[in-house]
Amino acid sequence: LIDGPKLYLLIIGNINCLFFSLITCKIKNINFIRNNFYFNSSMFHTRIKAANRIGTHHEDVISVIVGSLLGDGYANKRSVEGTRLCYRQSIIHQDYLFWLYEFFYSRGYCSSLKPRMYTRTIKKGEQVQTYSGYEFNTFTFRSFNFLYEMFYKHGKKVIRTEIEKYITPLALAIFIMDDGGWANPGVRIATNNFKLEEIQFLISIFKKKI
């Protein structure tokens, strides 16, 4: 079993080998060498079309994605190919961004390319401010489409009732890491992009499940 949702058909010599991961099982390096075939675990996802990347996804992976979509993360639906997750954080939060990258990379959800640095310039009146940070994207998965449908309506984020079954302590922790901050006493989470009734529904879920 290979860590992450993968389905592969490798033809090595006269042997058809079907590898299908059902649960999370971390294996760093797997190589098959015969008749000029060479496969490494970091290459598997790039060898198949995005539309053929399917689950099952581990609960921790879904929890991290749900928590980040409640926060700063965003989903990008790419036609019929599927959906990818996009992550961006300012340079002062680079440790958290790199933790997210390692979380997904170690499970086979993104490439070995490290998060890239970006610079953004914003003009406020006569002042020009420059912001720097890091960003990366996951691979595109057809099996991520349900997350896009759950979180977006006409391109804007929403909170639907079906999110309740995906709220876990890990999802809340990621939500806080994305949009939370200390507010003595306790923690304050920025939810400005959601409607009041959506926020109230989210609060009721946290009270019930966490």
Cα separation, 96 vs 73, in Å, equals 12
Length of the chain: 210
| Residue 171: pLDDT band with limits 50, 70, 90 | very high
- Provide the residue ranges of all domains of the chain, joining segments of one domain with +: 50-110+137-209
Q: Are 148 and 65 in contact (CB under 8 A)?
A: no
Residues 189-194, mean pLDDT to the nearest whole number: 93
Statement: residue 20 has pLDDT above 70: no
When mean pLDDT is compared across 22-36, 139-153, 159-173, the lowest value belongs to 22-36
Q: What is the mean pLDDT of the chain?
A: 80
Long-range pairs of 10-17 with CB within 8 A, sequence gap ≥ 24: 10/37, 10/39, 11/37, 12/37
pTM of the model: 0.76
Residue 45's pLDDT is what? 52
The continuous run of DSSP H or E covering 32 comes out as strand 32-34
What pLDDT score does 202 carry? Answer: 96
Rounded distance between C-alpha atoms, residue 66 and residue 23, angstroms: 19
pLDDT at 106: 94
- Summarize pLDDT for 7-18 with one digit per residue, the tens: 333 333 333 333
Residue 95 has pLDDT above 60, yes or no: yes
Q: What is the mean pLDDT of residues 43-67?
A: 79
Helix (H) or strand (E) holding 197: helix 196-209
